[in-house]
Amino acid sequence: MCADPDTLSSFWWMTCYLTTGKHLGLYWAFGTVLLLLAITAPAALMFGFGGAMAARSNFLPLQWFGKAYMSIVRGVPDIAFFLFFVIALDQAFEWTRHKVLCPDWDQPIRQGNDFVVCDAAKLPLSTAPQYIHEIYGFALAVLTFAIVFGAFAASVLYGGMRAVPRGQIETAEAYGMSHRQSFRRILVPQMWVYALPGLSNLWMVLIKATPLLFLLGVPDIVYWAKELGGTKTPQFTSFPHGDWRMWYFLFLLVFYLAFTKVSEVVLDRLMKRLTHGQATTGGEAQRRAQV
User: Could you count the other beta carbons within 10 Å of the beta carbon of residue 68?
Assistant: 13
pLDDT number for residue 289: 54
Greater confidence, 285 or 180? 180
Which of 6-10, 179-183, 201-205 is least confident? 6-10
- 51 close to 151: Cβ distance less than 8 angstroms: yes
Looking at the predicted structure, is the pLDDT value of residue 4 above 80? no
pLDDT number for residue 270: 86
**In 3D, which of 37, 41, 40, 1 has the Cα closest to residue 19?**
1
Could you tell me the pLDDT band of residue 114, with boundaries at 50, 70 and 90?
confident
Q: Where are the domains of the chain?
A: 5-223
Strand ranges in 151-226 using DSSP code E only, listed in sequence order:
none
Which of 2-11, 209-218, 263-272 is least confident? 2-11
pLDDT number for residue 130: 83
Contacts 24+ apart (CB under 8 A), 103-111: none
Looking at the predicted structure, is the pLDDT value of residue 174 above 80? yes
Could you tell me the pLDDT band of residue 178, with boundaries at 50, 70 and 90?
confident
pLDDT number for residue 85: 79
Report the run of H or E that residue 110 belongs to, with start and end. strand 110-111
For residue 79, with 0-12 CB atoms within 10 Å meaning exposed, 13-18 middle and 19 or more buried, which class applies?
A: exposed
Looking at the predicted structure, is the pLDDT value of residue 223 above 90? no
Range with the largest mean pLDDT of 71-75, 165-169, 274-278? 71-75
Assigned CATH for 5-223: 1.10.3720.10
Looking at the predicted structure, is the pLDDT value of residue 15 above 90? no
Looking at the predicted structure, is the pLDDT value of residue 236 above 60? no
Which of 76-80, 207-211, 237-241 is least confident? 237-241
Could you tell me the pLDDT band of residue 9, with boundaries at 50, 70 and 90?
confident
| Phi, psi (degrees; rounded to nearest 5) at 103 | -70, -20
pLDDT number for residue 54: 93
Could you tell me the pLDDT band of residue 190, with boundaries at 50, 70 and 90?
confident
Whole-number Å distance between alpha carbons of 32 and 217: 13
Could you tell me the pLDDT band of residue 240, with boundaries at 50, 70 and 90?
confident
